[in-house]
Structure 1
């Protein structure tokens, strides 16, 4: 809800914050001063500025970001009304986008989870909601460790094939188990609900009992439990055992990448075709 009237200390704080931007863009600072003066009763915690190197056609190059409370969607509505704009509501996220004096004005807030109808936000994913599809399976990378989430409970061989294809095609790597470890041990079959919170493009998956309304089978591949190996774009045969190889490794003594034979009984290493041969001086 709008606050009225603002304290003198708050106004002073906002003005001082704006002054710190004056060496970068006086236009945005001037607009900030104008907003404080014209709308003193509207919720505002602070400012930020942004600059687009290659703005989209019709999009301002410079923008002033209004910082409101993380969950203060009423503030977004209040500022939109004051600036003659309409707030954009996408799921739980409310966004203000406006232009004044050739400068963009942007702000966002998200409805808190406790205040949002999560049951209504449950959805069944399609190919548009995930990273890719392999073997008819919906696959998306999840988290920051390279794990994969597959929709369904496919056979183990399909999970391993999909994981291998994803790492090869997307990451240019081969995923191998650590010594004495089996990648099949990294497969975790569960049931989950896909929730469009805060938006459909930034969905969450929540693991639930199988009889929960909206629950669907999902498979979590804990790929970070494996060992990744970079792959070359061209296949070469190992000079020692003649086995085809794309595997790469780094030779700390030579100081560059080398080929590695995939055979556990061989593991021969040899230089890449385009790798420089160290000179005598380099080893001196």
Structure 2
């Protein structure tokens, strides 16, 4: 049974919504009107549109996205069959992906977590499921704060080494202790289950006890407890001659400066080759302003 059915009087409202996007000239308006006329009893909350400047071979340039409800998998199935196809089922997610009059038709819905067999979705991760591997460790980024999740309970030194590799090679940064905080204190051992929900590609973890079926040992590195330092070209400290790649910003002038890694020295000196240092700056910092537009 469908969760919603648009009343006939909503047809004009939905078409007006589509026309507001300027989609009449791309064919999306005509396809949307045809869908409403030919399938007035199928669930539909609204439309969205999508266009690609360089579509993949065999894919349409313009598409129409059907909004049927976050968990209305029956609705996605009904629309797929009405358009002569079947939904693509990937774990708990149902997807509609077809064409009509040269316009792509998309839609998706997910079985609610409380209605899905989460025990059956438990899996053992491999290298294909994580961000990278390091000396046999499976490592993946988690959240938006730079935290890392490791498989197993490796020694602290291995966790710190893999964390250093990740920040250096992926982020172009060095993770340093913050305000006297020891990075080793940011490491936490635990147990959890890896759950392929809603899909194996978009998996989740659930905390569990060691005795829980399917539970695996994991290690957290809460990297937000550290201080990230940008990396530049190799320089020697003018005071103590210790080699350094560390960069920072002067707290008063905001000028990019080199920083001596020696805890005794900690001398700072100006960056003279600004262009090369800017090129070495991590993408996360260089593009931060662009994202805010």
Q: TM-score normalised to the size of structure 2?
A: 0.89
Check if 1:112 corresponds to 2:112: yes
Residue in 1 that maps onto 2:260: 261
Residue pairs, 1:94-113, within 5 angstroms:
94-113=94-113
In 2: Cα distance, 1:93 partner to 1:168 partner: 36
Check if 1:241 corresponds to 2:240: yes
Displacement of 1:37: 0.2
Displacement of 1:274: 0.9
Displacement of 1:26: 4.7
- Contact (CA 8 Å) 2:8, 2:40: kept in 1 or not? no
Residue in 2 that maps onto 1:128: 128
Residue in 2 that maps onto 1:282: none
Check if 1:50 corresponds to 2:50: yes
Unpaired runs of 5+ residues, structure 1, are 277-284
- Contact (CA 8 Å) 2:24, 2:30: kept in 1 or not? no
Unpaired runs of 5+ residues, structure 2, are 276-293
Residue in 2 that maps onto 1:193: 193
- Return closer, same or farther for 1:24/1:226 CA change in 2, 3 Å cut-off: farther
Residue pairs, 1:206-225, within 5 angstroms:
206-225=206-225
- Contact (CA 8 Å) 1:96, 1:107: kept in 2 or not? yes
Residue in 2 that maps onto 1:151: 151
- Contact (CA 8 Å) 2:129, 2:201: kept in 1 or not? yes
Displacement of 1:54: 1.2
Classify the secondary structure of the residue corresponding to 1:267: coil
- Contact (CA 8 Å) 2:26, 2:62: kept in 1 or not? no
Classify the secondary structure of the residue corresponding to 2:165: helix
In 2: Cα distance, 1:118 partner to 1:68 partner: 24
- Size of the aligned set, in residue pairs, is 275
- Return closer, same or farther for 1:35/1:245 CA change in 2, 3 Å cut-off: same
Residue in 2 that maps onto 1:62: 62
Q: TM-score normalised to the size of structure 1?
A: 0.92
In 1: Cα distance, 2:229 partner to 2:190 partner: 28
1:181-216: per-residue Cα shift (whole Å, max 9, x none)? 111111110000000000001000111010000000
CA RMSD of aligned residues (A): 1.7
In 2: Cα distance, 1:5 partner to 1:182 partner: 58
Classify the secondary structure of the residue corresponding to 2:238: coil
- Return closer, same or farther for 1:73/1:135 CA change in 2, 3 Å cut-off: same
- Contact (CA 8 Å) 2:152, 2:216: kept in 1 or not? yes
- Return closer, same or farther for 1:216/1:203 CA change in 2, 3 Å cut-off: same
Residue in 1 that maps onto 2:271: 272
Classify the secondary structure of the residue corresponding to 1:242: coil
Residue in 2 that maps onto 1:281: none
Residue in 2 that maps onto 1:280: none
Displacement of 1:128: 0.2
1:22-57: per-residue Cα shift (whole Å, max 9, x none)? 366451011100100011111111000111111101
Residue pairs, 1:71-110, within 5 angstroms:
71-110=71-110
In 1: Cα distance, 2:240 partner to 2:183 partner: 26
